[in-house]
Amino acid sequence: MLCREHYRLTLRVRGWSDAAPGQFVQISRASAMRGDGAIVEPVAGMPLLPRAFSVGGLRVAGDGHEIDVIYRVVGVATGWMQSLAPGEHATVLGPLGTPFPIDPAKSTALLVIGGVGLPPLLYLAQALQHASVRTVALLGAQRSDLVPLSMIAEASPASDAACAVRCAHEFAALDVPMVISTDDGSLGYKGTVVAALQALTRAQPVTADETVVYTCGPERMMRATAAWCHDAGITCWVCMERPMACGLGTCQSCIVTVRSDAYPSGRRYALCCSEGPVFAAEDVLWDERCA
């Protein structure tokens, strides 16, 4: 358990290729097996469709890989994941989707995270460190008990956003300083993560040439981050979320509206699962309800 509603699940998989940050897996229990290999009948009320989860970390382990999934319990599938005991089996399909691009010309990366948008950006922080990109993480949550990180007691986060500090084990282990914000001020900066981004970059200006922003979280937050990046001329990559049935580009259930010169309307529908979930923020036409 990472905080009141967030949990980490480690999956051991065999025969997997590598997975890059931004990619995801589809997890289901429809064909869950017991430890002895017997198929467990789907339980009444359990969804037949798998659920998508970002790869939050990946390690080689024995003759396979270990994948970290960080999730918030919101419904029946995540409730089942919370109940899994070590050694139980699940069906895992992946890696799926397109990863975050890493541009070697950008020497600074800002990760703007809203709550359970953490997993793909935590994994990305690892890749950015390997690529020697200076990285700062900003994570916003409603309250301190919804921050899905292990805090370092002796380095509590600054109450203003002017200075990023190594305050959470997960990012400190990657040598990534961070700013934490909460809506009610119960931890770190009081305000939204986008307000924290503005305060940090006012105190420590960044240049558009050298900087890239990656964001994942609630759509309203990503839209505000994209608007700030647009005004600052900074490249921004967003990790979109849509309910997904197949995850493979077949069912057409996961559309994201994007700009397109190929159509008279100037827009087209992209599939979040196969063209995304990572999109250039400049291409996304946001749902007006997210203003």
Ligand X SMILES: Cc1cc2nc3c(=O)[nH]c(=O)nc-3n(C[C@H](O)[C@H](O)[C@H](O)COP(=O)(O)OP(=O)(O)OC[C@H]3O[C@@H](n4cnc5c(N)ncnc54)[C@H](O)[C@@H]3O)c2cc1C
Query: Judged by CB under 6 A, which of 12, 242, 267, 268 binds ligand X?
Result: 242
Question: b or e along 255-289 (b: 16 or more beta carbons within 10 Å of the residue's beta carbon)?
Answer: ebebeeeeeeeeeeebbbbbbbbbbebeebebeee
| Minimum separation from the CB atom of position 98 to ligand FES (A) | 12
Which of the listed partners (ligand FES, ligand X, none) does 243 bind, with a CB threshold of 5 to 8 Å by partner kind?
ligand X
Rg (CA), the chain: 19
| Minimum separation from the CB atom of position 248 to ligand FES (A) | 6
Looking at the Cβ atoms of 93 and 162, the one nearer to ligand FES is 93
Task: Give the footprint of ligand X on residues 1-30 (CB under 6 A).
Answer: 24
Which of the listed partners (ligand FES, ligand X, none) does 195 bind, with a CB threshold of 5 to 8 Å by partner kind?
none
Which of the listed partners (ligand FES, ligand X, none) does 64 bind, with a CB threshold of 5 to 8 Å by partner kind?
none
Looking at the Cβ atoms of 1 and 48, the one nearer to ligand FES is 48
**Span interacting with ligand X, options 64-72, 157-165, 186-194, 225-233, rule CB under 6 A:** 64-72
Task: Give the footprint of ligand X on residues 260-279 (CB under 6 A).
Answer: 277
Looking at the Cβ atoms of 96 and 136, the one nearer to ligand X is 96
d(CA 183, CA 105): 34
| Contact by Cβ (8 Å): 2, 72 | no
Coil, strand, or helix at residue 239? strand
Query: Is 35 among the residues that bind ligand X (CB under 6 A)?
Result: no
Q: Please name the residues in contact with 41: beta carbons below 8 A apart, sequence gap of 6 or more.
A: none
Indicate the residue type of 13: V
Query: Is 100 among the residues that bind ligand X (CB under 6 A)?
Result: no
d(CA 185, CA 287): 29
Looking at the Cβ atoms of 30 and 152, the one nearer to ligand FES is 30
Alpha-carbon dihedral sign for residues 178, 229, 183, 216 = negative
Nearest to 217 by CA among 70, 97, 137, 119: 119
Binding site for ligand X (CB under 6 A): 24, 47, 51-54, 70-72, 74-78, 116, 119, 241-244, 277
